[in-house]
C-alpha cells in the first residue's frame, strides 16, 4: 500500500487491488455498473431536486449564521 501525501489517500498496490476486485466479483450482492448505466444516470438535481434544494438552503442558513457570529465578535 502506498500513501499519497498530498491528500493522505491510501492507494492499493496492484496486488491488493486484484484481491479487492476478486472479492467484489465473488459477492452476489454487488453489481458492477456498466457504461450504459452511467449514460442513463441522472444528476442529483434531476433525481431528487427537493432534497438538493433543502441541502442548499441549510448550507446558506448556516453560512448566514456564521457570518452574523463573526460580525458580532469583531464589532
**pLDDT digits over 6-62, tens only?**
678 889 999 999 999 999 999 999 888 899 999 999 999 999 999 999 999 999 999
Tell me the whole-structure pTM to 2 decimals: 0.43
The pLDDT value recorded for residue 5 is 59
- Taking 3-state DSSP, the helix, strand and coil percentages for the chain, each rounded to the nearest 5, stand at 65, 10, 25
The pLDDT of residue 3 is above 60: no
Amino acid at each position: 500500500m502506498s500513501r499519497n501525501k498530498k491528500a493522505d489517500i491510501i492507494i492499493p498496490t496492484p496486488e491488493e487491488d486484484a484481491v479487492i476486485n476478486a472479492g467484489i466479483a465473488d459477492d452476489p450482492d454487488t453489481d458492477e455498473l456498466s457504461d450504459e448505466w452511467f449514460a442513463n444516470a441522472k444528476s442529483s438535481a434531476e433525481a431528487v431536486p427537493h432534497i438538493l434544494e433543502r441541502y442548499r438552503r441549510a448550507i446558506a442558513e448556516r453560512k448566514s449564521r456564521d457570518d452574523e457570529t463573526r460580525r458580532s465578535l469583531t464589532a
